[in-house]
Structure 1
Amino acid sequence: MGFLKDLATLTRQGYEAQQRMDVGASMAQAQASMAEASRIMAATTPAATAPHLEAQRLRTTASVLDARQLPMMFGMNAVVDLELHVLMPGGVPMPVTRTEQLAPLHLARAVPGATLDVSLVPGRPDTLRIEWA
């Protein structure tokens, strides 16, 4: 008898919760979350560069000024906003902000004050690629 009473109570509570649920607000929130995930995914996916630009790519180093983990994960990868100072040939630092998906293995390397190996096409900060390997 106790099982059927509990089942009836749970059924009643489920119907009451369904009556209070705002489907439109839930769908709007889900849509906003998907748009934000799409924006982050596009920002962390490196853009393909033309072959003639790849030939001009220089390897250099960058200092991490700031690293902020975003409240989002893609699989096991954390999404991190990195503020970098890239040391260009001739000693001129160039500020670059980059959103990266970081594997747990690389997360500890992206701390303020760390030096990272990077490559980029001179004058094109959008071509910055962090060389994790």
Structure 2
Amino acid sequence: MGFLKDLTTLTRQANAAYDRMDVGASMAAASRSMEDASRVLAATTPQPEEAAFEAVRLRATANVVDARQLPMVIGMNVVVELDLVVAMPNGFPLPVTRTEQVAPLHLARVTPGSTVDVSMVPGRPDTVRIEWGA
């Protein structure tokens, strides 16, 4: 008898929660979440560069000033927003902010104060790419 009473109570509570649920708001929140995920995925997916740009790409190093984990994981990769200062070959520092998918293996490499190898097309700070294999 106690089991059926508990089952009736749970059913009543579930029906009350369902009646209070705003499906439209839930769908709007899910839609916003998907738009955010699409935006982050597009920002972290490497874009194919023209062969001419790849030929003039310079290697440099960058200091990690700040690393902020975004509330998203793609596969096993954590999405992190990195504030970098690229040490250009001509000696001028170039501040850059990048959103990256970072594999768990590389998380220690992007802690504030660390140095990472990067490459970029001269005059195009939007082409800064972290060279994970270097």
TM-score normalized with structure 2 length:
0.94
- In the TM superposition, residue 132 of structure 1 has moved relative to its aligned partner by 1.0
Report the count of equivalent residues: 133
Quote the Cα distance in structure 2 between the aligned partners of 1:115 and 1:15: 55
Q: Does 1:106 align with 2:133?
A: no
Quote the Cα distance in structure 2 between the aligned partners of 1:79 and 1:42: 12
Q: How does 1:5-84 map to 2 (within 5 A)?
A: 5-84=5-84
**What is the RMSD computed on CA atoms of the aligned residues?**
1.0
- Contact 1:84/1:97 (<8 A) preserved: yes
- Contact 1:47/1:127 (<8 A) preserved: no
Name stretches of at least 5 consecutive residues in structure 1 with no aligned partner. none
Quote the Cα distance in structure 1 between the aligned partners of 2:16 and 2:86: 58
**Percent identical:** 68
Quote the Cα distance in structure 2 between the aligned partners of 1:2 and 1:16: 21
Quote the Cα distance in structure 1 between the aligned partners of 2:10 and 2:93: 63
Partner of 1:90: 90
TM-score normalized with structure 1 length:
0.95
- In the TM superposition, residue 88 of structure 1 has moved relative to its aligned partner by 1.2
**Which runs of at least 4 in structure 1 moved beyond 3 Å after TM superposition?**
none
Quote the Cα distance in structure 2 between the aligned partners of 1:128 and 1:104: 21
Counterpart of 2:63, as a letter, is: S
Name stretches of at least 5 consecutive residues in structure 2 with no aligned partner. none
Quote the Cα distance in structure 1 between the aligned partners of 2:93 and 2:75: 34
